[in-house]
Amino acid sequence: MDAAMTAQPDFKAARPARLDPAFRAPDRPFWSLPSAEAFARVGSSPSGLSSREANLRLKRFGPNVARPAARAGLLRRIIGRLTQPLVALLLIAGFVSGGVGDFASSAIIATVVGLSIALEVWQEHKADVAAEALRRSVALQANVLRDGALVSIPVARIVPGDMVELRPGDIAPADGWVIESNSLRVDEAALTGEAYPVEKRPGPSGAATMAEAYDALFAGSSAVSGSGLLLVAATGADTEFGRMALSLGADAPRTAFARGLNDLGRLILKLTIFLCLFVLLAQIVLHRPIMEAFLFALALAVGMTPELLPMVTTVTLSRGAVRMAERRVVCKTLSAIHDLGAMDVLCTDKTGTLTEAKVALAAAVDPDGRPSADVLSLAAANARPPAGGGGVLDQAILSAGPVSHGWSVVDEAPFDFVRRRSSVLAEKDGDRLIIVKGAPEAVLAACRAVSRSDGPRALDDAERSRVAAEVDAGAAKGLRCLAVATRAAGDGRAISPADERDLVLQGLCFFADPVKATAPAAAARLKALGVSIKILSGDAPAVVARVAAEIGLPRLQVLTGDQVAELSEAALAVRVRAVDLFARLAPDQKVRVVRALSRAGHTVGFLGDGINDAPAIRAADAGLSVESATDVARAAADLIMLESDLGVLADGVAEGRRTHANILKYIRMATSSNFGNMISMAVASVALPFLPLAPVQVLLNNLLYDVSEAGIPFDDVDAEEARAPHGWDIGRIYRFMLVMGPLSSAFDLAAFATLRLAFDAPVAAFQTAWFVESMITQILVVFVIRTARPFWSARPHRLLVAASLGALGCAIAVALSPLGAPFGFVSPGSAALAAMLAISLCYLAAAEIAKRFAMQAPKSAPRRRLRRA
């Protein structure tokens, strides 16, 4: 950034004018105003706003977000639960019970519903608080002039009238005027459809459309090169982007995780409708009381539904997010935890993740291979400091030592990923040169000659081969390379990419970026977790191959960007399966590779930190970036690594799988247990002259069982479950339910027969004894089916033990004490209880054997691939 932009303005000398109340809805596009009128319109000045004024405007205009997140309050949460179909039906049943004089049932139904809603709301509130804290920790920041000084603030706190500094990689946080520009080029394809970066400079442009407004910046666009100052005209929903978001009015598409839950919901709904209709019709055919039959069928519907699934999933994901944050990975969305655990292919750039990102200049040589201070001087004249948006290679050049090149830069054509080179118009001692540096092949393509010790030579095939051989020799050592070329300039004061022609190659700069000491071990860990690594880089093939060899990746074929460009989408989907190394890729080619891997059946993660990585991050199933990345890369990512280290990512993958495993654990337990109980009660309601459990007893059974599973989010997971990628497999859940549910029912029916034939138990005693047997089997089997190992070899978490045994103790205490009278419980006798205990123990032994079959994956079933919606 030039001196005019870095100098601190005198705030006291230029106090902001009073805010024009009409500026939010001008009668013409804001970019049509000249700068002087723009400052007056928003009540600001070149020195920005005072902190006090900014705070007042924040209260007036609200946070700078396009669609404010609607965080549900307590009342809204409760109303949301009460309007759920099954809960609403349950409340109706409670009112009906009270209306016919059964006040005890009505009170019990109200209590059960109240406790269930209270538990769910409290747990979800805690989860939301934790997730919001994590999101704030990785919120985007912007450099803003406040009180005359440049400070970094959260983007959400930007207000109209702020002066915002933009550098390469920054996202424009709001709509506004370009006040200063230093070769600022911006990608605004998402807003205007323009495929290439456009130049921005002060106006007025007098443009009629956004696409023609070279003097305006719009929220959501991103700086590709150069730098500038933005005067904010509109924030939040008042921006063009905000208006688009509000006009769409739709929520974000459902994630793969949400779609998996939806599939599960449909499965449960079908089974529930079938069982309830069967029971209701059977009761009517048998001439049972209609009201009792209705309440019993309704209780079956509630019992069949794992109504705490939203709470369990939210709490489990939230706890997983907190644990991942402890492992230095922050989730911007909870569902991203699932997608990270499902990842089986990781695409990554090498700089900063596989290498140290401590790039150092190894050598500056002339075309003859001799060290050259002149080449370093020319490269330094073309380099930009970090404050001006210079990259790591520019920083390495400027840090190579005291380079007093003496060149004065008049104009520049910044680097972009299409040309892969940058150029400056520079003057020194009366000489005027266009100095170009960039990727060797990109610079050579614009050269006509090469500077040799005996003078310039035409750049024929032999000379090109000599230069290419020198570049390849450096690449074989793992050195990155930039070429430097020049040509004499005319009398003009401006240049453009069109001036990059007829150049003379002056030399080459080589850079070293050592591989991280932790990279080989981290790559091995990811491989052990079933995640294959593919390097997608813009560097030369030999450099990519060298890095791959150093971290232990198999030295397979390297596919270059030129080769990718020649392949059709179908052909690329085939090639990417066998290729792990990709070199000289353009940003759009990285996206093509990611999508080709997805089409080939993989769940793809992409880890990147640069402007050119953002499209591929967005295209991946699991988009990853690092805390030090550019704004545009961080905004595109679902997960932010606080350390640029693959070891941190391996920890995150393991935690993602652990989290998903606990969710599946609850689903397996709840669906199989509820399904078994419902079959038992449906059969018994037909075979017995009375209901096996009263409706309120069914509800109490369901509530206590849900409480017993409240510790699942904290449970430990078998190491085997974290070793391979996972995904939603409804078929496996269905298989588990069809095996374990009927097994449970078989022992329930044995208990029915024992109570009816051996003990001739009265109705109340029958219901009490079976309630106790049902609670023992449902709760204790949790310790059997929570693990694929023998249950005694996998220790559960103490919170799960406490919740389960506590709920079981409560169930037995209620059933066998005076507390059970309102529920219709009586003492069934010690002999009947002993028989129920024996049946329960036999069931647990059978479940230990059956689970090995129930948990087997179908041999031919493919793993379900996830796609980000």
Which backbone phi and psi does 640 adopt, to 5 degrees? -115, 120
Residue 164, token pair as written in the block: 């915002």
The whole-angstrom separation of Cα 573 and Cα 584 is: 19
Report which residue type is found at 151.
V
Which H or E run includes 648? helix 646-687
CB 581 within 8 A of CB 558: yes
Selection from 480, 558, 467 nearest residue 513 by Cα: 480
C-beta neighbour count of 795 within 10 angstroms: 12
Residue 717, token pair as written in the block: 């997971």
Report which residue type is found at 831.
A
| DSSP labels, 529-566 | TT-EEEEE-SS-HHHHHHHHHHHT-----EEEHHHHHH
The whole-angstrom separation of Cα 73 and Cα 121 is: 10
CB 565 within 8 A of CB 589: yes
Three-class DSSP category at 481 = strand
The CA R_g of the chain, rounded to the nearest whole Å, is 34
Selection from 54, 16, 36, 43 nearest residue 233 by Cα: 43
The whole-angstrom separation of Cα 723 and Cα 267 is: 28
- What is the DSSP secondary structure assignment for residue 568, as one 8-state letter? -
Residue 746, token pair as written in the block: 């078989």
Report which residue type is found at 321.
A
Cis peptide bond prior to 695, omega within 30° of 0: no
C-beta neighbour count of 45 within 10 angstroms: 22
Distance from the Cα of residue 543 to its chain's centroid: 30
| DSSP labels, 327-384 | TTEEESSTHHHHHHHH--EEEE-STTTTB----EEEEEE-TTS-B-HHHHHHHHHH--
- What is the DSSP secondary structure assignment for residue 223, as one 8-state letter? E
Q: Give burial (CB, 10 Å; 0-12/13-18/19+) of 186.
A: buried
Selection from 335, 314, 328, 330 nearest residue 128 by Cα: 314
Pairing of strands 198-200, 175-187: antiparallel
Q: Which residues are catalytic?
A: 349
Distance from the Cα of residue 525 to its chain's centroid: 21
Numbers of helices and strands, H then E, in the chain: 29, 23
The whole-angstrom separation of Cα 314 and Cα 310 is: 6
Distance from the Cα of residue 836 to its chain's centroid: 49
The whole-angstrom separation of Cα 331 and Cα 314 is: 13
The whole-angstrom separation of Cα 195 and Cα 210 is: 14
Give first-to-last CA distance, the chain, whole Å.
39
Query: What are the CA-CA distances from residue 236 to residues 61, 145, 163, 229 (Å)?
Result: 8, 19, 16, 19
Which backbone phi and psi does 783 adopt, to 5 degrees? -70, -20
Q: Find tokens 């009927």 and name the residue.
A: 742
The whole-angstrom separation of Cα 651 and Cα 658 is: 11
CB 260 within 8 A of CB 728: yes
Residue 435, token pair as written in the block: 């100095």
Selection from 185, 162, 201, 164 nearest residue 49 by Cα: 162
